[in-house]
Structure 1
Amino acid sequence: MGRWLSARGYTVFVLFYRLPGEGWAAGPDVVLQDTQRAMRLIRHRANDYGVDPERVAAMGFSAGGHACADLAARFAAAVYKPVDKADQLSARPLLAAPIYPVISMSAPHAHPGSREKLVGANADSVLERAHSPHLNIPANAPPHFILHAEDDDVVSVENALLLRAALRERGILVETHLFSHGGHGFGLRKAMGKAVEAWPELFLEWAHAQGL
């Protein structure tokens, strides 16, 4: 997707983020530390990259969709001590595009593997809630583009619906596309020949309308 967007004139950054299971002190917040820091560094170095610091968006797929949605919900959360001047900048994305995202950390809709790796198999309800983006939507959350397939047998489509409902309740602009067929992890290549193949253009049309 990075190459696809780049070919259409976008400057794209691919984030390799740390995981809680690797033993970092921040535990489940380590992913949010990295997504926040990435947004701030891009804005801090905007002149070097030739980008508008106000027009930086976030997109993520599956577990990365959780990272994207969590950033969009908790961009202002203080999850690490400031390192330099970059950390004086906002981590709020212009818009967020969680694609077939993991959202809920609670049964029955949580993806078991993602839940275990992020908050642990024995997480209590407080920890589950803290890391379920749909339960932490602020009034100034960015607009969202949500995409999911109804026949996703890995991450239930209910995750996308929970996020959509929470955004609508807060009055946040959200565009949602649900496709009957597509499964999980279709991205670009596996979407070919299916109706869901249209999703990248749908995203671009919506993103243009939001000023990206």
Structure 2
Amino acid sequence: MFVRRDLILGTLAASVATSAWPQTPPPAKAGEAPVPDLPDPVETIDLWPEGAPGMPDAPPVETVDQRGTDPDLPDRAVRGITRPRLVVFRPRIPNGAAVLAMPGGGYLRIVIDKEGYEIARWLSARGYTVFVLFYRLPGDGWRAGPDVALSDAQRAMRLIRYRARDFAIDPDRVAAMGFSAGGHLCGDLATRFAAKTYDSVDAADKLSARPFVAAPIYAVQSMTLPVAHAGSREQLIGKDASPTLERAHTPASNVTKQTPPCFLLHAEDDATVPVENSLLFRAALKAQGITVETHLFANGGHGFGLRRTIGKPVGAWPDLFVEWAKTQSLA
């Protein structure tokens, strides 16, 4: 049972325990100045102590691109991940719950700020310990193929639980949240958490990878055209994938009674990832009797995160998630 004493012990142990694990710095562009009053996190956890399995013959090179033009509002994306890792956001007063956050990027890149650090800061300010996952990309030639990002998500969930005391969190109360293609990864983790996608490397891999709850946000879900996001589909399973392969990587096709409760969010005017992705997933969840909270907004488009919701009803979504999470006893 998780009690307040665990919070105290976990906090005291954190500085000692983290030094024993390998760490690679967060993705960063060489020579880039930090944003004033908005420092990047520095604490990371490498997922694979001996290196990620199934390295391509020609390994990609990790590269950070600055896509924005406002120096006070960065919009960075990273590609070519070879050392998948978690970037940690610790709250000042932890509430005992954690969130594994998976940014999107069409399985071509991983958005750093808009769907990673910004939501992590927002949630950590409310007591959640947040782990932003920088996962390997399926188009880079890893041996695991379409399962490579899921391997990293499974491993991340297990590591968070294994090190729960280091972060003063309850190992049972670890949620998953993902955006766009990261939302597909979130749905994949929620439905295929028990799939064997890699060989066990240590004691952490004996733990469950099942999220306590899952929140796929404007998520890619279907791998079948025309509902599928064509770019994500091509990167994940290939342009000429068979119907069998499509079904294997469509979360709605893999829902079981063990799938955790889900929070779904989508804008109906999303011209990039059709709202049918979330509707089909909701229908599959309902068919299995899984608790599902669904919020559809008339306006919002795609990739709104936090920064593109100002003045719109969709701006309420983070608070809606937190209130729903309370009903599920996440915090």
TM-score tier, shorter chain, comes to: over 0.9
Matched with 2:159 is 41
Show the 5 A alignment for 1:99-138.
Answer: 99-138=217-256
**Secondary structure of 1:147's aligned partner:** strand
Matched with 1:10 is 128
Larger Rg: 2
For 1:166, which of 272, 284, 288 is the aligned residue? 284
How far the C-alpha of 1:41 sits from its partner, in A, is 0.2
Runs of 4+ in 1 over 4 A off after TM superposition: none
For 1:143, which of 232, 241, 261 is the aligned residue? 261
Q: Does 1:156 align with 2:277?
A: no
For 1:32, which of 122, 127, 150 is the aligned residue? 150
Question: Which TM-score applies when normalising by structure 2?
Answer: 0.64
Matched with 1:191 is 309
Question: Which TM-score applies when normalising by structure 1?
Answer: 0.99
Unaligned runs of at least 5 residues, structure 2 = 1-118
Q: Does 1:60 align with 2:178?
A: yes
Unaligned runs of at least 5 residues, structure 1 = none
Q: Which amino acid aligns with 2:311?
A: G
Structure with greater helix share of residues: 1
Distance 1:110 1:4 in 2: 30
Distance 1:27 1:140 in 2: 25
For 2:216, which of 98, 113, 121 is the aligned residue? 98
RMSD: 0.5
How far the C-alpha of 1:20 sits from its partner, in A, is 1.0
Distance 2:207 2:199 in 1: 13
**Secondary structure of 2:134's aligned partner:** coil
**Secondary structure of 1:189's aligned partner:** coil
Structure with greater strand share of residues: 2
Q: Does 1:81 align with 2:180?
A: no
**Secondary structure of 1:91's aligned partner:** coil
Distance 1:186 1:204 in 2: 18
Whose relative contact order is higher, 1 or 2, with alpha carbons under 8 Å and at least 6 apart? 1
How many pairs align?
212
How far the C-alpha of 1:44 sits from its partner, in A, is 0.3
Distance 2:319 2:267 in 1: 16
Q: Which amino acid aligns with 1:62?
A: S
